[in-house]
Amino acid sequence: MEVRGPSVNVDHIERALQHFNPLRLLLVALALGAAAILFVACGGDEEQPQPEAQQQRVAQTERTQTEQDQQEATRQERQATIQQQQQQSGAAQAQAGASDDADPLAPRERGEFRIARNEPINLDPAQITDVSSAVIAVEIFGGLLVLDRDLRIAPDLAESVPGPTINDDGTVTYRFTIRDNATFHDGKAITADDFKWSLERNLRPETLSPTAPDFLGDIVGAAEYVRGRADEVVGIQVVDEYTLDITILQATPVFLYKLTYPTGYVLDREQVEADPERWALNPNGSGPFRLTEWQLGEGLTLERFDDYHLEPAGVAKVSVRFAGGSVEQFENDELDQAFVGLNDIERVRDPASDLNAQYVTRSELSIFYLAFNVSTPPFDDVNVRLALAHSIDKTTITQEVQDDLLIQARQIVPPGLVAHDSDYPGLVFDPELAQEYLAASRYAGTPLLDEIRLTISGAGATPGPSIEAIQDMWRQHLGLEVEIQQVEFASFISDIDRGLYGFFSLGWSLDYPDPHNVLDYKFHSASLGNDTQLNDAEIDAKLEQARYSFDQEMRTNLYREIDRALVEGAVWIPLYYSVAHELVKPYVQNYEPTRMVIPHLRFVSIEE
């Protein structure tokens, strides 16, 4: 998912990026940028009739500004309603008086796991585009398939992972058998009709899902349905009570991955239709945990669903605290797990420290970067982009500013995927070369170079030590005074989607472990996620070739070629790959940081 989340200080960068996607999604707006839950693009060859999903993307890309404004207004109105309901709920709880169980400082109960996370923005799976929401939603809801802790596709509400059936017309059908013991949290059985309704609801035009058209767009008839030209998605067919056929336009190695994203989760139709605006504040899910309490700005409580169709969770309750998550809270026994930031990393890494034995770390499938809208002056000149890129000393930032909390990025695809090339040097720090590129720019000597602005998500505080260091490098090596503009998170993401910023800082957290989730979604010219406005026919052709190929070696080579072209054209300036730095109490069993957003809390147990 493009996973996006609220702004946090760079000192806690690893905390904000704990991981869905794709989701495509993902995604968190940081002092450096935002992490993303990803969308998936799909399309066709220019010399052949375009598949329906590609036509849909082209049509959506060409929507008028009026239509975009109307949709954005509806989204903001819906979000305001949810926030208002949360505030009313919080006020009512405050008036009634908080219970001991709700007190963030209360002693740990038997079977309770106390953790820190950012507050969800929205738990409606059709609307989730941020990591903060996704990490909670994956524990409450479920779909046909899921990514396991090794990031392999595994059955969830389906009995097994189905194989493809190739049809005479080139379409591909997957037949899913739903477990006969699968129920919603209220005990209602989950059927094939529930899945058909849920998938179609997420694709429905009035749902305004920013992710469903991409994640479900491969399905036959999805494009017509999204555009209001069909009464159903013909590629989703109920065979019987527990059997569902899903037919896609053509074979692709990533479709089953897409079904693990929140847009593939099953929803309780009765609940959603009874209260369309507020149901997600207390959803009747199907996952290993039930949401039993949500205190605005403080925390939420997840309780074990004892009738879960897989093995029930090892802990009775997960108490999620929104505020803090600090090492100090961990040391005071207020948390069983905490994130380690810049202020504490040195002593936590010290073998002589009592905390060192409780320290765990793991690289994540996510990247932070600076991005350009390549259609906007002066960033439509590659020389300007290359000048800004070559004047950034990433080694100094990662080692001295960040104390090795993150890993320097030289390319887009993160380590851990076969398409990552650890020998590729990227664009090296070279101030003299940077000056040559700037002088060669057609904008040299024009006021546009004196008016460059980098937009980040923030609330007006300092932009963070890394951004400030980069800003100083541009000043020192290029003589450019780059303005740092901070924009409130919701507006920031909306404005990027609408192409309103020429230069911005973001982060991307993969929703599934395939380069398609970042390279195709973010850079194909017809993708809804192409916020750089890149339109490169050669890159498009390679992306489309990799999109439908099952030759892993060829896909790897294509993605490496695409990655290099994007880096060397400075469409993105890759900065860092994220790393989780956490503390975990010794009595917590089977907990480990995840590389991306997946359901994992049910595996945890507490040694009492």
* pTM for the predicted model, two decimal places: 0.84
The size of the chain, in residues, is 608
What is the pLDDT averaged over residues 87-93?
A: 41
216 exposure class (CB count in 10 Å sphere: 0-12, 13-18, 19+): buried
pLDDT in tens, 310-345: 999 999 999 999 977 789 999 999 999 999 998 999
Instruction: Give the pLDDT of residue 184.
Output: 98
What is the pLDDT averaged over residues 303-315?
A: 97
- CA dihedral sign, ordered 92, 97, 102, 105: positive
Q: Which of 29-43, 252-266, 274-288, 392-406 has the lowest mean pLDDT?
A: 29-43
Residue 142 in this model has a pLDDT that exceeds 60: yes
How far, CA to CA in Å, does 424 sit from each of 111, 283, 402, 538?
Answer: 48, 46, 23, 21
What is the pLDDT averaged over residues 410-435?
A: 97
Find which of 113-122, 370-379, 455-464 is predicted with most confidence, using mean pLDDT. 370-379
Arch. (CATH architecture) of 364-578: Roll (3.10)
Q: Which of 76-85, 493-502, 568-577 has the lowest mean pLDDT?
A: 76-85
In three-state form (DSSP H/G/I as H, E/B as E, the rest C), the secondary structure along 543-600 is HHHHHHCCCHHHHHHHHHHHHHHHHHCCCEEEEEEEEEEEEECCCEECCCCCCCCCCC
Q: Are 3 and 21 in contact (CB under 8 A)?
A: yes
Residue 83 in this model has a pLDDT that exceeds 90: no
Alpha helices of 97-191 — where are they, by DSSP H? 131-140
Q: Are 122 and 128 in contact (CB under 8 A)?
A: yes
**CB contact burial 435-459 (16+ within 10 A = b; e otherwise):** bebbeebebbeeebbeebebbbbbe
Of the chain, the percentage scoring pLDDT greater than 70 comes to: 82
Q: Both tokens of residue 497?
A: 């989607």
How far, CA to CA in Å, does 2 sit from each of 27, 118, 140, 201, 440?
Answer: 5, 17, 20, 20, 35
Q: How far apart are CA 285 and CA 139, in angstroms?
A: 9
Instruction: Give the pLDDT of residue 196.
Output: 98
What is the pLDDT averaged over residues 141-151?
A: 97
Q: Which of 165-179, 316-330, 513-527 has the lowest mean pLDDT?
A: 316-330
Instruction: Give the pLDDT of residue 451.
Output: 95
SS3 category, 175: strand
SS3 content of the chain, % helix, strand, coil (to 5): 35, 20, 45
Residue 213 φ/ψ, nearest 5 degrees: -60, -30
Q: Are 455 and 492 in contact (CB under 8 A)?
A: yes
Residue extent(s) of CATH 3.10.105.10 domains in the chain: 364-578
Tell the residue number behind the tokens 């060829």, with chain if given.
554
Q: How far apart are CA 315 and CA 569, in angstroms?
A: 49
598 exposure class (CB count in 10 Å sphere: 0-12, 13-18, 19+): buried
Residue 119 in this model has a pLDDT that exceeds 50: yes
How far, CA to CA in Å, does 73 sit from each of 127, 287, 491?
Answer: 14, 32, 11
pLDDT category at 420 given cuts 50, 70, 90 is very high
Q: Which CATH class is domain 140-274?
A: alpha beta
How far, CA to CA in Å, does 385 sit from each of 396, 427, 429, 525?
Answer: 20, 11, 14, 19
User: Please, which residues have CB within 8 angstroms of residue 130's CB and are 6 or more apart in sequence?
Assistant: 3, 4, 5, 6, 25, 26, 27, 28, 34, 35, 37, 120, 121
Q: How many C-beta atoms lie closer than 10 Å to residue 74's C-beta?
A: 12
User: Please, which residues have CB within 8 angstroms of residue 18's CB and are 6 or more apart in sequence?
Assistant: 117, 131, 135, 339, 364, 580, 593, 594, 597
What is the pLDDT averaged over residues 523-550?
A: 95
pLDDT in tens, 206-236: 999 988 998 999 999 999 999 999 999 999 9
Residue extent(s) of CATH 3.90.76.10 domains in the chain: 140-274
Q: Are 4 and 134 in contact (CB under 8 A)?
A: no
SS3 category, 484: strand
Using alpha carbons, select from 22, 5, 4 the residue that is nearest to residue 595.
Answer: 22
pLDDT category at 88 given cuts 50, 70, 90 is very low
Instruction: Give the pLDDT of residue 76.
Output: 52
